[in-house]
Amino acid sequence: MRVTLINPNICMQKGDFFGTGIPYLPMSLAWVAGSLRSNHDIMVIDAFGENPMHFRTEGKLHIQGLTIPQILERVPKDTEAICVYAAKVVAFTVTKDIVRALRKEFQVPIIILENTQSVVAYSLKVAGKEFLDAGADYCLIGESENRIEKLLVAIREKKTPAFDGILYRKDGKDVLIDKKEYIMNLDELPFPAWDLFPLQNYWKLGYAHGPMQGKYVPLLTSRGCPYGCKYCVVPETNARRWRFRSPKNVVDEIEHWVKTLGVTEFHFEDLNPTVRKERITEMSKEIIARNLKISWKIVAGTKVETMDKDTVTWMAKAGCTYISISPESGSPAVLKLMDKPFNHELALDLVRHMHKQGITTQACFVLGFPGEKPEDLQLTRKYVRKLVRAGIDEVALFVMTPIPGSNQFSALDGYENYSQLTFTPTWRKDFRRLSTFRNRLYVEFYLLKLIFHPIKLFLQPFNVLFRNFKTKTEMTAFRTLKLMRALATS
């Protein structure tokens, strides 16, 4: 079949240059393309990547990339199915607009693909009905590689789909067959089809999700997460199932992109890549054995308790230069509310060791979780101080937002649409208070860094100037300046 895959635009919330507008490469879509290409004629339309510095503003969003008419022009007239990637929650309204326009222009089946491997995505069990209302025919819930082929066969044979992980409308009623199956042997999947995406345009941007210093691609070395954090959508999209690729399979992919695309940098976008520290150690040794001169970065966070000093040492030897961890709160009481286990003292010890190994580190926090008290915020503040002394290089402070599919989805209200569910939720009644605390803590962080690690702080402006990014903060400063200049001239 002739199948068109569409990655929607990148969207940025007005006034939020730090938390939105991040150009995540569409990993799950690339994996689907890799799985389909052997049996189907695949066309990829990357609405962001094909024209990333073109801006338009609609309501409270700045939208980067192709216009909807440009997307429609690129869809082959003989396409037999169109798959639209439900990439990020901030792009929800724009993605719906794309679906509406496709429905008016084409009579072929429109399929929405869930992004199951991101904390900034959303569950189609919750949000899928709005896509059906906009004109979509099917929503695939869960991993798409093991479902899209079944759906295409059903479409070709004109049969009603009967497999798990699908939402569709029949005779005016929504039919949901919830997901039961998860891909357990990830080594059997073909590598993602990055050659079908405009990587050069992403590289030319000079910024990414993780701090970039050259040609990069994201890696997904595992899927899912075994933890049940209540602010996160992942327990819903992955049912707390963690599955992993073998070290050999991961390094095979690394070597493939080094040889075919000249990639020198790899951004691990796993939800929790280090669950088995032995796997990470073995992978590090395999990189060293193959003499691959690369850098790799854990940019989406990992569970610090799953590592030890020996693991970190091997990671550094193999080229790991960046690790993000997620304490989320300095308060044990809030962590209990979140259902988030975290060992504060162990994390401090490992951050000290990462600092000695030359690995740049980030710690992420969630502010404003329901039930959090002022004294809990002060415990977070005190823990940030301890992290600075231990050598943490940067912190990220997010204000909790109710992601569709998360345990806390119904805990807050006041937003107008899902695109407002960012980590700068200005619609929250307590946002001003939380934002004030966040800004003051950022200032305190840099003042403490000036005291305890002045050389690192002194070098940061030069890292921005010469685009030698060590931290996301440095890269974000560059990205913000570039986007503000582009918006001013658009």
Euclidean distance between CA atoms 32 and 412, whole angstroms: 34
Query: Using alpha carbons only, how large is the chain's radius of gyration in Å?
Result: 22
> H/E element holding 58?
strand 55-58
Q: Which two tokens stand for residue 459?
A: 């070098």
State residue 17's pLDDT score: 83
Euclidean distance between CA atoms 32 and 151, whole angstroms: 13
What number of residues does the chain have?
490
- Say which amino acid occupies 47: A
Domains and CATH numbers, the chain: 2-177 (3.40.50.2300), 208-489 (3.80.30.20)
426 contact partners, CB below 8 Å, separation of at least 6: 15, 420
- Say which amino acid occupies 260: T
Q: Print pLDDT tens along the chain (490 aa).
A: 999 999 999 999 998 988 899 999 999 999 999 999 999 999 999 999 999 999 999 999 999 999 999 999 999 999 999 999 999 999 999 999 999 999 999 999 999 999 999 999 999 999 999 999 999 999 999 999 999 999 999 999 999 999 999 999 999 999 999 999 999 999 999 999 999 999 999 999 999 999 999 999 999 999 999 999 999 999 999 999 999 999 999 999 999 999 999 999 999 999 999 999 999 999 999 999 999 999 999 999 999 999 999 999 999 999 999 999 999 999 999 999 999 999 999 999 999 999 999 999 999 999 999 999 999 999 999 999 999 999 999 999 999 999 999 999 999 999 999 999 999 999 999 999 999 999 999 999 999 999 999 999 999 999 999 999 999 999 999 999 999 999 998 7
**Could you say which DSSP state residue 186 is in?**
G
**266: nearest Cα among 221, 201, 206, 317:** 221
Distances (CA, A) of 354 to 229, 292, 361, 393: 25, 21, 7, 10
- Asked if 175 contacts 167 with a C-beta cutoff of 8 angstroms, the reply is yes
Residue carrying structure tokens 């010890």: 349
Could you give phi then psi for residue 113, rounded to 5 degrees?
-105, 125
- Cross-sheet strand order for the sheet of 360-367: 216-219, 265-268, 295-302, 320-328, 360-367, 394-399
HEC string for the chain: CEEEEEECCEEEECCCCCCCCCCCCCHHHHHHHHHHCCCCEEEEEECCCCCCCCEEEECCEEEECCCHHHHHHHCCCCCCEEEEEECCHHHHHHHHHHHHHHHHHCCCCEEEEECCCCCCCCCHHHHHHHHHHHCCCEEECCCCHHHHHHHHHHHHCCCCCCCCCEEEEECCEEEEECCCCCCCCHHHCCCCCHHHCCHHHHHHHCCCCCCCCCCEEEECCEECCCCCCCCCCHHHHHCCCCEECCHHHHHHHHHHHHHHHCCCEEEECCCCCCCCHHHHHHHHHHHHHCCCCCEEEEEEEECHHHCCHHHHHHHHHCCEEEEEEEEECCCHHHHHHHCCCCCHHHHHHHHHHHHHCCCEEEEEEEECCCCCCHHHHHHHHHHHHHHHHHCCCEEEEEECCCCCCCCCCCCCCCCCCHHHCCCCCCCCCCHHHHHHHHHHHHHHHHHHHHHHCHHHHHHHHHHHHCCCCCCHHHHHHHHHHHHHHHHHHC
**How close are the terminal C-alpha atoms of the chain, in Å?**
39
